[in-house]
């Protein structure tokens, strides 16, 4: 079983809709949670960073962590065609000295005009 599970999609939504992405993880030692966005033929770029449970908002993006369910989510409000990309969740343990990340497989999102 993978440590991080993420539905690969593709997820197709009309412009202006809310995009809902999620990942589940198996190890309760994971404490740091990140979302990366990767455009086609580019490297991933950090979008959101949270630790422990709760919500974090940044503009149209909201990251949510539910540690009791081992479930993390990313919501994109008022989606735009420029949001079309692959979104990767990544998690890390506090006990890891080097910040090694475990990545989900990535969900491809397509926002249609």
Partner 1 sequence: DVKVTQSSRYLVKRTGEKVFLECVQDMDHENMFWYRQDPGLGLRLIYFSYDVKMKEKGDIPEGYSVSREKKERFSLILESASTNQTSMYLCASSLRQAKNIQYFGAGTRLSVL
What are the residues binding partner 1 (CB under 8 A)? 4, 6, 8, 32, 34, 36, 41-46, 49, 88, 90, 92, 96-101, 103-106
Residue 32 Cβ, how far from partner 1 at the closest point, in Å? Answer: 5
Long-range contacts at 26-31 (CB < 8 A, ≥ 24 apart): 26/1, 26/2, 26/70, 27/3, 27/93, 28/67, 28/70, 29/93, 29/94, 29/95, 30/3, 30/70, 30/91, 30/92, 30/93, 30/102, 31/92, 31/93, 31/94
Return the number of the residue (8 or 54) whose C-beta is nearest partner 1: 8
* In the complex, least distance from residue 98 CB atom to partner 1, rounded to whole angstroms: 5
Neighbours of 80 (CB within 10 A): 12
Question: Helix or strand or coil: residue 83?
Answer: helix
Q: In the complex with partner 1, which residue's Cβ is closer, 40 or 82?
A: 40
- The nearer residue to partner 1, 1 or 113, going by C-beta atoms, is 1
**From the CB of 77, what's the least distance to partner 1, in Å?**
24
In the complex, what is the shortest distance from the CB of residue 19 to partner 1, in angstroms, rounded to a whole number? 19
Q: Which is nearer to partner 1, 84 or 92 (CB)?
A: 92
């Amino acid at each position: 079983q993978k440590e991080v599970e993420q539905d690969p999609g593709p997820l197709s939504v009309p412009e202006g809709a809310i995009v809902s992405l999620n990942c589940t993880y198996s190890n309760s030692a994971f404490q740091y949670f990140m979302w990366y966005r990767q455009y086609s033929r580019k490297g991933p770029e950090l979008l959101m960073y949270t630790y422990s449970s709760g919500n974090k908002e940044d503009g149209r993006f909201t990251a949510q962590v539910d540690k009791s369910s081992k479930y993390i989510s990313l919501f994109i409000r008022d989606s735009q065609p420029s949001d079309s990309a692959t979104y990767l969740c990544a998690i890390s343990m506090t006990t890891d000295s080097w910040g090694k990340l475990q990545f989900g497989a990535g969900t491809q999102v397509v926002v249609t005009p």
